[in-house]
């Protein structure tokens, strides 16, 4: 309970008040009503609210509730039962939720899985899918597979680069698009192909691109 030092205006008695009232307290010696000064009321209130907070977050006999990034990571890691061989799957899931993998997230993964951070980074930088830098709201992936290449994928990529004003692997200044190329989307019969988010576009023509992009602006 919060305590404040009060002085009785009537008899001059000083005592430690530890009650619930916020405006008046009763003097323990003369039973006179004593007004609690403004600044001390504040202390009382603060102490009260911090006490309430503490009781609701009491860690005794309760699992630790993680907040922020730790909580996001914990949800996924728990799903995979803290299995470190699931590292790639965990990172994939995190990236799906978060669009990219911030540094803090990687270190949190390493902490919770109890593996060295270097191992997490090794995996995150080896595989092409993982992005360690923020991505745009929409991810454009153009296929550069053999079939698409033969059927004109380089021209499509050139056009996309000039339309968006960015190189492959970059993000537009307004954060709307990221442009990446992949080796094969598995739609080889329809080349050139690209995906925007999870939407597939086949048999692309150079002059269609502007129209397709305008749908996502």
Partner 1 sequence: MNAIKRVSSAEDLEKLRRGIRARKEPSKHIIAFCVGTGCIALGAKRVLEETIGEIKKHGLEIRVDVKETGCLGICEQGPMLIIYPEEVPYFKVKPEDAHEVVSKTIVEGKLVERLLYRDQVTGKVYKKIEEIPFYKNQLRLLLENNARINPKNIEDYIEIGGYSALAKALFQMTPDQVLEEVKRSNLRGRGGAGFPTGLKWETTRNAPGEPKYAIVNCDQGDPGAFMDRALVEGNPHSVLEGLMIGAYAIGASQGFVYVREEYPLAAENISTAIRQAEEYGLLGENVLGSGFNFWIGVHRGAGAFVSGESSALMTAIEGNVGEPRPKYIHTAVKGIRDKPSCLNNGKTWATVPLIILRGAEWFRSIGTEGSSGTMIFSLVGKINNTGLVEVPMGITLRDLIYNIGGGIRGGKRFKAVQTGGPSGGFIPEEYLDLPVDFDELTKIGSMMGSGGMVVMDEDTCMTDMARYFIDFLLEESCGKCVPCREGLRVLSKILNDVCEGKGEDEDIQTIEDIIETMKEASLCELGRTAANPLLTSLMYFRNEWNQHIREKRCASKVCKALTSYYIDPAKCQACLICLRECSVGAIQGEKDQVHWIKQEKCIKCGTCYEVCNFDAVEKLSGEHLPPAPKGMKPIRKRKGGN
Count of beta carbons in the 10 Å neighbourhood of residue 97: 11
CA distance 106 to 116: 10
The least distance separating partner 1 from the CB of residue 54, rounded to whole angstroms, comes to 40
| Cβ closest to partner 1, residue 35 vs residue 128 | 128
Q: By the 8 A CB rule, do 113 and 77 touch?
A: yes
For residue 24, the SS3 value is strand
Q: Between 2 and 152, name the residue whose CB sits nearer to partner 1.
A: 152
| Minimum separation from the CB atom of position 130 to partner 1 (A) | 6
Q: What's the DSSP call for residue 171?
A: B
- Looking at the Cβ atoms of 40 and 168, the one nearer to partner 1 is 168
Q: How far is the CB of 118 from partner 1 (least distance, A)?
A: 11
By beta-carbon proximity to partner 1, the closer residue of 61 and 96 is: 96
Nearest distance from C-beta of residue 210 to partner 1, angstroms: 9
User: At closest approach, how far in Å is the CB of 62 from partner 1?
Assistant: 31
Residue 25: which of 50, 44, 52, 48 has the closest Cα?
Answer: 44
Can you read off the two tokens belonging to residue 202?
């086949």
Residue 97 CB, nearest approach to partner 1 (Å): 15
**Toward partner 1, which CB reaches closer, 51 or 155?**
155
Positions touching partner 1 (CB under 8 A) are: 83-89, 91-92, 119, 122-123, 126-130, 144-152, 155, 158-159, 162-163, 182-191, 193, 198, 200-203, 205-207
C-alpha 94/C-alpha 131 separation (Å) is: 11
Spell out where the chain has E strands.
4-7, 14-17, 24-26, 33-35, 138-143, 177-182, 194-196, 199-201
Q: Give DSSP secondary structure letters for 100-128.
A: S--HHHHHHHHHHHT--HHHHHHHHHHST
Task: Pick the closer one to partner 1 by CB: 36 or 108.
Answer: 108
């Amino acid at each position: 309970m919060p305590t404040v030092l009060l002085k009785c205006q009537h008899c001059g008695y000083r005592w430690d008040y530890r009650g619930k009232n916020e405006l008046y307290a009763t003097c323990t010696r003369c039973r006179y009503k004593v007004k609690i000064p403004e600044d001390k009321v504040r202390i009382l209130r603060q102490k009260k609210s911090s006490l309430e907070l503490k009781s609701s977050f009491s860690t005794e006999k309760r699992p630790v509730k993680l907040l922020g990034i730790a909580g996001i990571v914990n949800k996924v890691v728990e799903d995979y039962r803290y299995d470190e061989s699931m590292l790639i799957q965990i990172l994939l899931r995190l990236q799906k939720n978060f669009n990219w993998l911030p540094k803090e997230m990687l270190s949190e993964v390493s902490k919770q899985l109890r593996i060295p951070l270097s191992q997490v980074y090794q995996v995150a930088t080896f595989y092409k899918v993982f992005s360690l830098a923020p991505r745009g709201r929409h991810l454009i992936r153009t296929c550069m597979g053999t079939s698409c290449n033969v059927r004109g994928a380089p021209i499509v990529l050139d056009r996309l680069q000039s339309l968006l004003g960015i190189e492959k692997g970059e993000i537009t200044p307004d954060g709307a698009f990221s442009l990446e190329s992949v080796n094969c989307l598995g739609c080889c019969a329809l080349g050139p192909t690209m995906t925007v988010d999870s939407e597939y576009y086949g048999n692309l023509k150079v002059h269609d691109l502007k129209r397709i992009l305008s749908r996502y602006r």
